[in-house]
């Protein structure tokens, strides 16, 4: 399974890209839809919210009154933390159910508005960010969602900055153009990068050089790719990696993982192999791994 994180600021067109990927064959998991699902009438989530915040958060027909909930749950930091303590485990569990239900060999795209704000990028094989210039986003929010301009700009300002999103992005899709203008680039991304990446992971084969796979690649280049690979390795390997270092070289990214504990490199590589696949890497030697992503060549050596 290939796990892709999809995100973008409000009004950028992330949901449109998700629909294009779904038509291509992706299994799309919508975080916002799940967040609504776990608090529908009759759910454990709604019952726990009522127990915590009172019956005043319900409408007359027993559904969640979201503005009423917001007025009490965001009144102070302690209330917000109680809200998150109820919702986050439920959303996480339901998301995992969707992931587990996806067929083997699926490309699972998780549509997560706050992926960057939540520092979730390292948990995915690939992060796709959809962006548009601010004036375009404001125009869309005013025209299609009925927001006034001040509200639209305030919502944009409350989210991650462009620089923060660029730092998290493996793929950067500029959706500032008219409707449908981005569809061909999304199609090429699917054909030349996502599908081959999935096939390589499934076959445990390193990626072959593929210049066409660089479609919409983040312009921060190999240095940015090195930083993101190091983050993925730390997330995947946890305490088994005493030290992780990655840097750009002429062939892409070279990284080393220093094993924790008194074991040989090849023994630790055995123990890390499946988790390395979680970071997009496949074994290519006794203690060496290589990237399965045709758009991000990398070599990782495990050392004692």
Q: Tell me, what's the pLDDT at 262?
A: 82
What pLDDT is attached to residue 287? 95
List binding-site positions. 11-16
Q: Where are the domains of the chain?
A: 2-185, 221-303
Contact 300, 219 (CB under 8 A): no
Helix/strand/coil for 92: helix
pLDDT of residue 91: 94
Q: By percentage, how much of the chain surpasses pLDDT 90?
A: 80
**Which CATH number is 221-303's, of 3.30.750.24, 3.40.190.10, 3.50.50.60, 3.30.460.10?**
3.30.460.10
- Note the pLDDT tens digit of each residue in 55-88: 999 999 999 999 899 888 888 889 889 999 999 9
Q: What is the Cα–Cα distance from 186 to 18, expressed in whole angstroms?
A: 10
For the chain, percent of residues with pLDDT exceeding 70: 100
2-8, strands of its sheet edge to edge: 27-30, 107-111, 2-8, 126-131, 171-174
**Residue 108 contacts residue 29 (beta carbons within 8 Å):** yes
Which distant-in-sequence residues (6+ apart) come within 8 Å of 119 by Cβ? none
Residue 215's pLDDT is what? Answer: 82
User: Which of 26-40, 153-167, 212-226, 280-294 is predicted least confidently?
Assistant: 212-226
Confidence (pLDDT) at 49: 96
Res. 192 pLDDT band, cuts 50 70 90 = very high
Place of tokens 């076959």: 203
What integer pLDDT is reported at residue 230 of this predicted model? 97
Look at residue 231 in the predicted model and tell me its pLDDT: 97
Query: Annotated binding site for ATP, which residues?
Result: 11-16
Q: Would you say 279 and 232 are in contact if contact means Cβ atoms under 8 Å apart?
A: yes
Which residue bears the tokens 């060999």?
Answer: 105
pLDDT digits (tens, 9 = 90+) for 200-237: 999 999 998 888 888 888 888 889 999 999 999 999 99
End-to-end Cα spacing for the chain: 30
CA–CA separation, 130 and 18 (whole Å): 10
Mean pLDDT of 143-152: 87
Structurally, at CATH architecture level, domain 2-185 sits in 3-Layer(aba) Sandwich (3.40)
Q: What is the mean pLDDT of the chain?
A: 93
pLDDT of residue 9: 92
Model confidence at 27: pLDDT above 90:
yes
Q: For the residues of 211-269, what is the DSSP string, one character each?
A: GGGGTTB-TTHHHHHHHHHHHHHHHHHGGGEEEEEEEEETTEEEEEEEESSS--HHHHH
219 phi and psi angles, rounded to 5 deg = -70, 0
Structure confidence by residue, pLDDT tens digits, 253-281: 999 999 888 888 999 999 999 999 999 99
The model carries a pTM of 0.91
Instruction: Give the residue carrying structure tokens 């006034």.
Output: 148
What pLDDT, on a 0 to 100 scale, did the predictor assign at position 213?
85
């Amino acid at each position: 399974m290939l796990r892709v994180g999809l995100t973008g600021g409000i009004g950028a067109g992330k949901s449109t890209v998700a629909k294009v990927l779904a038509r291509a064959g992706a299994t799309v998991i919508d975080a916002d839809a799940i967040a609504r699902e776990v608090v529908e009438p009759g759910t454990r989530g709604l019952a726990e919210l009522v127990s915590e915040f009172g019956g005043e958060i319900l409408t007359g027909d027993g559904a969640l009154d979201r503005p009423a909930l917001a007025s009490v749950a965001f009144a102070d930091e302690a209330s917000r933390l109680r809200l998150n303590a109820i919702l986050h485990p439920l959303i996480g569990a339901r998301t995992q159910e969707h992931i587990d239900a996806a067929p083997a060999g699926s490309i699972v795209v998780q549509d997560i508005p706050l992926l960057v704000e939540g520092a979730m990028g390292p948990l995915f094989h690939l992060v796709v960010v959809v962006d548009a210039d601010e004036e375009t986003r404001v125009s869309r929010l005013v025209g299609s969602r009925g927001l006034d301009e001040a509200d639209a700009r305030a919502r944009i300002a409350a989210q991650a900055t462009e620089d923060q999103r660029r730092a998290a992005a493996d793929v950067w899709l500029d959706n500032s153009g008219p409707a449908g203008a981005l569809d061909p680039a999304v199609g090429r991304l699917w054909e030349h990068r996502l599908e081959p990446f999935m096939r390589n992971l499934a076959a445990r084969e390193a990626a072959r050089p593929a210049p066409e796979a660089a479609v919409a690649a983040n312009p921060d280049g190999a240095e940015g790719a090195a930083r993101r690979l190091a983050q993925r390795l730390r997330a995947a390997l946890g305490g088994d990696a005493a030290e992780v270092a990655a840097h750009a070289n002429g062939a892409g990214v070279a990284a080393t993982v220093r094993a924790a504990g008194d074991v040989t490199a090849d023994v630790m590589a055995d123990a890390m192999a499946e988790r390395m696949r979680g970071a997009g890497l496949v074994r290519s030697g006794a203690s060496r791994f290589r990237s399965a992503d045709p758009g991000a060549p990398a070599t990782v050596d495990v050392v004692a």
